[in-house]
Structure 1
Amino acid sequence: MLSAFRKNGLWSPSRNIAFRAGTAPRRAFDPRFFSSNAADVPVSELPVLSPPSVGGWLLGSAVLVFAVIVVGGVTRLTESGLSITEWRPITGVLPPLSRAEWEKEFDKYKATPEFKLLNHSITLEEFKDIFYMEWGHRVLGRLIGIGFVVPFAYFALRKQLTAALPRNLFGMALLIGAQGALGWYMVKSGLEDSLLETPGAVPRVSQYRLAAHLGTAFVLYAGMFYTGLATIMDWRFAKKGLWGGLQDGAAQWKDILANPHVRKFARNVKGLTGLVFLTALSGAFVAGLDAGLLYNEFPLMGGRLAPPANELFDPAYAKSADKSDIWWRNIFENPTTVQFDHRCLAITTYVATAAVYASTFNPVIRAALPPLTKRLATGAFAMANVQVLLGISTLLYLVPIPLAAMHQAGSVMLLTTVLHLLISLRRPGAAAQAWRQALRNTKRTTH
């Protein structure tokens, strides 16, 4: 087998495993790779194993998405999101470069409901400040697209992507493009002239569209982070046999994941991941309705654990004649109810994270879990504490921009730690298993 590696130019002292194994189409998994005769399988038939550079690129893309989420939050908090009244994917990359161009953009903004109702006394220089904030957010979104598509094409042409990656990455690329369109669809909701005809209306984007825009960003971030980290972990498993923080993880992972206590723990972590995402999504409704400016106290709301029922389910928010929509409209459109729901979800998420962490001290579960999983459970609980403190502080201090931005960033970090915890119990990919088996059998035949 070793001679076959050398003959094909895929073996060197510093390179123990191949990134590519031929160019012909092949299945991602073949039982022959796991037989006792795996060492006799030609190298050209081994599946492609993505190098760490693929994982690094995906993690870098995730960092950019993290940044655009935070910048988007600051853009909303500074009320800058409606300063650019057009969507120009190509020409919009450049900001106004002359006095005349700035005046033209300012005139467009003067026609918006936000200017007429709130910012009618704003100066050109003040307009530039909010314009640059929204422009920066949009340019960062374009950079994410370029920074994702170009390396994707490169790695695909170099045949350095495992069998399942191209389909997943293509879906992420489509999601990036959809985010741009969804972002403009959201902004348009705050530019509609109908706002001028609605008594007491506040010029802001639809909370539904804001939640969709932010939720899609979270999904994109989670996909990039999970896939990137999984790619790196597969490489380490294939090359060094590392799994779950164990040096001999390649020999233990099957038994660990087959343990019923570990399987139950993994299901709990999956549920926790969904709960973290749902809580973050409810935060988008809080932001969209400025619900954080109500009941700036904790844990009480107006001196009681929950506001009165007639305030939580106010008939005024129902639009149908029979009031049949009173429940769901209050849940999504009543600022008081939205804040209450977010509080409940946040407390539930914190308790769930604490429960997952506490379960690692159960002697039976602790003995079964790999070291990495136990460390990450501690990290997830620590991040949950930080996020709760940020959320309470943001509420008590009437949503100051720095604290609110940190709270939104904290939601991404909490999702990150929980995703990492989930990945720590992931089974190695088929390609990684094949290469690990082949490499192990090769070492046996050379000794």
Structure 2
Amino acid sequence: MLLPSLRFILPNSYNAAWRNFSRIKQSPLTQWSLRRGQTTVAIKSGPVTTVSIPSAATDRVVGRWLVGCSGLVLGAVILGGVTRLTESGLSMVDWHLVKEMKPPRTQAEWEDEFSKYKQFPEFKILNHDMTLTEFKCIFYMEWGHRMWGRLVGLAYIIPTAYFWSRGYFTRSMKTRVLGLCGFVFFQGLLGWYMVKSGLEEKQGPSDIPRVSQYRLSAHLGSALLLYSASLWTGLTLLLPANKLPESRRLLQLRRFAKGTGALVFLTALSGAFVAGLDAGLVYNSFPKMGERWIPDDLLAFSPTLRNVFENPTTVQFDHRYLGITTLTAITGLYLFSRRMFLPRRTRIAIGCLTAMAYTQVVLGISTLLFYVPTSLAATHQSGSVALLTFAIFVLAELRKVVK
């Protein structure tokens, strides 16, 4: 009698896999082999059946890959922030997936690229006296940012195809990695959609050319989502879950940590509106804004809701108090966690989050008081991602163990 088709859900270790397949090995009707990432069960008189066995070893490989990808996304975010601060983002006026990978080399090619740039508002209004040498500097900054984005795409897509073919993914993991790869492609399109907004002619000749703050925040927000999802998935595969005894206090701590993580993300996203509107230059004092706690022009625009997204004063005001609220929440999380028994690694994660929060506030205030110097502003922007990283680390440490 022939054995039916077999499908096994195996635990994450080779020893357990060996024990589960020992009875099949003893059957004269089957031939089988166990290798890294998958097991092949061949029935002598039937077709070969391949059973995926994501193991502890393959989980580590996939986890390291995803953490590495999140590092590349982090680099793209930092490089994008520097590109924005140096006003280099509008230097490349075309978008070609393959053609633009090769920068201009000859004098004629540079002259041609520069002549294209001269046709757009940024040159006509802001940089009409720019030289070719100065143009090369901002061009290479934007070109480097775009090439880094292509590197991120390849780092997701190529390993995904390889690991998929080797059987390293579970069914749920396949859905996740497909979503991550799709998000990378969407991020590239959104980046070009953002740049296009800065190349359009404004209503008045005196309007300063800049990308839409709405598209900038969407571009940054999607990058942070990609980063968060990759890092979270990678950490949950690499770090063994803490077997914390379930209690009411632990449940409260988890909820507190989730709310704090959401505040960190929202504060970072509000920074995109500050950058998009150059709102860091309107009130360069702290803790007051000028001579007042609440400036007179806080609600200058009509309707009122426009102020939240388009009024530089309101945007800076919101970012300030979101930062203070986030710092307060993280401090509360730290104090609450001190009243509980937690594993050493979890305490380290919460301590790092708290230390980074205070560092980030100091960087933000310094950036404001010194009138947004590029180096300090770039460090502050990078600090927001570092803070988000520690928030995800804390959440990974406090995740519930699925039995």
TM-score by length of 1: 0.79
Q: Letter of the aligned partner of 1:207 in structure 2?
A: Q
User: 1:321-350 deviations in whole A, cap 9, x for unaligned?
Assistant: xxxxx2210110000000000001000000
Mapped to 2, the partners of 1:395 and 1:166 lie a distance apart of: 44
In 2, the alpha carbon distance for the partners of 1:395 and 1:227 equals: 35
Residues 148-297 of structure 1 correspond to what in structure 2 (within 5 A)? 148-193=156-201, 195=202, 197-198=203-204, 200-233=206-239, 237=240, 243-244=241-242, 253=243, 256=245, 258-297=246-285
1:92 aligns with 2:65: no
Looking at structure 1, the residues matched to 41 and 275 of structure 2 have their Cα atoms a distance apart, in angstroms, of: 50
> Which of 48, 63, 77 is equivalent to 2:71?
63
Q: Structure 1's 305 and 88: CA in aligned 2 closer, same or farther, altered over 3 A?
A: same
Residue 373 in 1 paired to residue 346 in 2?
A: yes
Cα deviation for residue 119 of structure 1 reads 0.3
Q: How much has 1:109 moved relative to structure 2?
A: 0.3
Q: Does 1:357 align with 2:330?
A: no
Aligned with 1:51: secondary structure? helix
SS where residue 171 of structure 2 aligns? coil
SS of the residue 2:305 aligns to: helix
Task: Give the Å deviation of 1:93.
Answer: 0.7
* Structure with the larger strand share: 2
Q: Which residue of 2 aligns with 1:240?
A: none
For residues 251-271 of structure 1, give each alpha carbon's deviation from its aligned partner in whole angstroms, at most 9, with x where no partner exists: xx2x62x21110110011001
Please list the CA deviations of residues 193-249 of structure 1 after superposition, one character each: whole Å capped at 9, or x if unmatched.
Answer: 2x2x4153111000000000000000000011001111112xxx4xxxxx43xxxxx
Q: Which runs of 5+ in 1 are unaligned?
A: 12-17, 25-43, 238-242, 245-252, 319-325, 434-447
Identity, in percent, stands at: 49
For 2:390 and 2:41, the matched residues in 1 are separated by 37
Q: Partners in 2 of 1:159 and 1:427 — Cα distance? A: 27
8 Å Cα contact 2:268/2:384 also seen in 1: yes
- Matches of 1:375 and 1:409, distance apart in 2: 21
CA contact (8 A) 2:78 2:378 kept: yes
Partners of 1:145 and 1:286 in 2: how far apart?
Answer: 28
Question: By how many angstroms is 1:20 displaced?
Answer: 3.3
Give 1:21 deviation, angstroms: 4.8
Structure 2 residue 366 is matched with structure 1 residue 393: yes
- Alignment length (residue pairs): 370
- How far does residue 47 in structure 1 lie from its aligned partner after superposition? 5.2
Counterpart of 1:83 in 2: which secondary structure?
A: coil
1:370 shift after superposition: 2.9
Deviations 1:5-56 (A, max 9, x none): 6866559xxxxxx6435589xxxxxxxxxxxxxxxxxxx9785334311111
Match of residue 38 from structure 2: 20
Q: Equivalents in 1 of 2:20, 2:84: separation in Å?
A: 59
Who is 1:108 aligned against? Answer: 116
Deviation at 1:361, TM superposition (A): 2.0
Cα-Cα RMSD: 2.0
1:19–1:51: 8 Å Cα contact kept in structure 2? no
Which AA in structure 1 matches 2:359?
A: V
Give the alignment's TM-score, normalised by structure 2. 0.87
Task: Tell me the SS of whatever aligns to 1:85.
Answer: coil
* Structure 1 residue corresponding to 2:152, chosen from 131, 135, 144: 144
Q: What SS does structure 2 have at the residue aligned with 1:79?
A: coil
1:21/1:48 contact within 8 Å kept: no
Q: Which residue of 2 aligns with 1:135?
A: 143
- Aligned counterparts, 1:65-84, within 5 A: 65-84=73-92
Deviation at 1:373, TM superposition (A): 1.8
Query: Which residue of the other structure, out of 296, 301, 305, is the alignment partner of 1:328?
Result: 305
- The CA distance in 2 between the partners of 1:146 and 1:420, in whole Å, is 26
Query: What amino acid sits opposite 1:386 in the alignment?
Result: T
Q: Counterpart of 2:10?
A: none
Runs (4 or more) in structure 1 with deviation over 6 Å come to none
